[in-house]
Amino acid sequence: MDTVMTNPNRLRLRLIALVALVTIAGTDAVASPQFSVELVGGRIKGDDTLKVRQGDQVLVSFVSDQPIVLHLHGYDIDAKVAPPAPALLTFKADVAGRFPVHEHRHGAGNHRAVMFIEVHP
């Protein structure tokens, strides 16, 4: 292939390789996205899905008008919100997927997800 490749082609190939390298280097650095989530009456205000990249160090800060225990399914971590103080949920998003955050309650009941965190590959 090399012998038939003309100079502009080779240059293009190098450029592509360079872009690819930069992209890889770019994803290598750990991003640390931060989110603030406001809950009213156990329901989220605004968009119910947070999107992060796999490998990110994620920080979610919750404020709520009532005491609430939140549980990030899959990662299985809890955040206890005691108003007026905000609660922090912090984790390294090393597994990709769509993970629900449930309100933690005891006994039977409808376990509706409060919000979702999507970890994209």
Site residues (vs another protein, CB under 8 A): 49, 71, 73-74, 76, 94-100, 102, 104-106, 108, 110-111, 113, 116, 118-121
To another protein, the closest distance from the beta carbon of 111 in angstroms equals: 5
Residue 74: strand, helix, or coil? coil
Q: Does the bond joining 100 to the residue before it have cis omega, within 30 degrees of 0?
A: no
- The residue (of 62 and 116) whose beta carbon lies closer to another protein is 116
Which is nearer to another protein, 49 or 90 (by Cβ)?
49
Q: Report, in Å, the least distance between residue 88 CB and another protein.
A: 19
CB atoms within 10 A of CB 68: 20
Q: Which is nearer to another protein, 65 or 94 (CB)?
A: 94
